[in-house]
Amino acid sequence: MAVVLGCNKVEDEEIALRSETFNYTFNNGAMGSGTAYNGTHDRSLSAQIKIEELQDGRTSFSAILNGTIPGAVYKVHIHDYQSPVAPSFLPYKTTPNISILATDVVGNGATAVSGGISTMGYDQFINAYKGILIVHDPAVFSVTSMSTFLVFGKIGMKY
């Protein structure tokens, strides 16, 4: 008597989803001359942006701030990169890309988190998107004065 064993493919196999975390230190002017923060916020603040691929093709973005002031509202935005041109010479478009990330993080004295879901796919963000992350000083809001940005750095594809 022979017994034949077969293998059945599992129809509901989990797809391996990817994630990446971008780490940022306090804005000490690494983006160029005149960009260093020039305000009164404690310089121990740092940020992470964690992106996670979702099974439905969208991407989850989480803004994680460390060293926040309790009750302070930090505006965290991803702006589209642009080549600096006259008259502003800014390396980003002044309107945040709300389809990726524009969120408020409420400080709690330690690590505070906020985020959202973007329709931009993970591969597109990692391999083709050029952006600038900005964490605004809760005391002084400006989209053009880089010296008011607590965190200021490149995000997305390697450029």
**22-80 tens-digit pLDDT:** 999 999 999 888 899 999 999 999 999 999 999 999 999 999 999 999 999 999 999 99
CA angle, 145 then 148 then 151, to 5°: 115
What are φ and ψ of residue 30, in 5° steps? -65, -20
User: Hey, what are 7's tokens?
Assistant: 């293998």
Residues 26 and 62: their CA atoms lie apart, in Å, by 18
Q: What is the pLDDT of residue 14?
A: 58
pLDDT digits (tens, 9 = 90+) for 40-53: 999 999 999 999 99
User: Hey, what are 58's tokens?
Assistant: 């969208």
Give me the chain's average pLDDT, please.
91
- The residues with which 75 forms a beta bridge, in sequence order, are 104
Residue whose token pair is 């001359």: 33
Q: What is the pLDDT of residue 117?
A: 97
Residue whose token pair is 């989990």: 14
49, with CB counted inside 10 A (0-12, 13-18, 19+), is buried
Amino acid, single-letter form, for residue 37: Y
> In this structure, what DSSP letter does residue 125 have?
H
